[in-house]
Chain A
Amino acid sequence: MSEDIKKFMYLNRRAPHGTIYAWESLEVVLIGAAFDQDVSLAFFDDGVYQLLKSQDTSGIETKNFSPTYSALGDYDVTKLYVEQESLEERGLTLDDLMDLKWEDEDDDWAEKDSIRLVSRAELTDIIEQQDIVFSF
């Protein structure tokens, strides 16, 4: 890695449809992917709701941006940390979340999981390793 690559983390602590924060945050991630930084996303507190399967906004007539998370792998955004405790507190497990994959070109394009389940303590340490932390 060259010296000018920074570790960027996007914090997602908000639920997706009641406010625009989650969607506009995802827009930043998509644009930011062009900048060749070391990017990761953290989903904790209500942010874990952003990754739930089967979201369908047709009845509320808002944009359903949840399929966009599946495209993140194509943008080389491959590290999505999800906090175990936040899931548990909300009665959720990993099976309730979208199955997000990325293809590792250094490993014969093997399909790998983008979601990395981490504990609260692990997530805290991961955030402490970042250069820049974006909150929305």
Chain B
Amino acid sequence: MKFSIQVNEGPYQHQATDSAYQFTKAALEKGHEIYRVFFYHDGVNNGTKLTTPPQDDRNIVNRWSELAKEHDLDMVVCVAAAQRRGIVDEGEMQRNGKDAENIADGFRISGLGQLIEAGVQSDRLVVFGD
């Protein structure tokens, strides 16, 4: 079955992204397809490589990046939500005249249409939030 996942909250403040990660991992292990993971609202903060959690805690951002690498996951950060919250890739850096980018490995910034398209293409949309 084809799933898409929507993550509405950032790392550490809410359990939502932990739950979304565990669900995604379990779905992949069961042989399901994850069509896309879409990060919206404060969920875009899952996509910053500048996160530095203490060593004895999980690294939520790296965990997503590693899962994406292992399973060729499509992880999309919403551009409108990202611009508000300072999540920037190379293209956004140039377009908006910023002097830095901070997007983590495996994430890409794209439009809200990607969420709608995920809904069109997937059998199930599972939303994790506050």
Contact bitstring B7-39, A, C-beta under 8 A = 1, else 0 = 010000000000000000000000000000000
Q: Which residues of A contact B5 (CB under 8 A)?
A: none
Contact residues on B (Cβ < 8 Å of other chain), bracket: 10 to 19
Q: Which of A1-45 contact B (CB under 8 A)?
A: 4, 6, 8, 20-21, 24, 27-28, 31-32, 34-35, 37
Measured CB to CB, the closest approach of chain A to B45, in angstroms, equals 13
Assess the A27–B112 pair: CB atoms within 8 A: yes
Report the number of A-B residue pairs with Cβ-Cβ less than 8 Å: 51
A28's partner among B112, B120, B122 (CB-CB below 8 A) is B112
Assess the B120–A4 pair: CB atoms within 8 A: yes
Assess the B8–A136 pair: CB atoms within 8 A: yes
Contact bitstring B56-95, A, C-beta under 8 A = 1, else 0 = 0000000000000000000000001100000000000000
Q: Taking the complex as formed, is B116 at the interface, i.e. its CB lies under 8 A from any CB of chain A?
A: yes
Q: Taking the complex as formed, is A71 at the interface, i.e. its CB lies under 8 A from any CB of chain B?
A: no
Q: Taking the complex as formed, is A62 at the interface, i.e. its CB lies under 8 A from any CB of chain B?
A: no
CA distance A21 to B9 in the complex (A): 11
Assess the A136–B40 pair: CB atoms within 8 A: yes
The interface size of chain A toward B, counting residues with CB under 8 Å, comes to 18
Assess the B129–A35 pair: CB atoms within 8 A: no
Assess the B41–A6 pair: CB atoms within 8 A: no
Q: Which of B79-130 contact A (CB under 8 A)?
A: 80-81, 111-113, 115-117, 119-120, 122, 125, 127, 129
- List B residues at the A interface (Cβ < 8 Å): 6, 8, 40-41, 80-81, 111-113, 115-117, 119-120, 122, 125, 127, 129
8 contacts between A and B (CB under 8 A): A8-B116, A31-B111, A32-B116, A37-B119, A132-B119, A133-B127, A134-B6, A135-B129
- List A residues at the B interface (Cβ < 8 Å): 4, 6, 8, 20-21, 24, 27-28, 31-32, 34-35, 37, 132-136
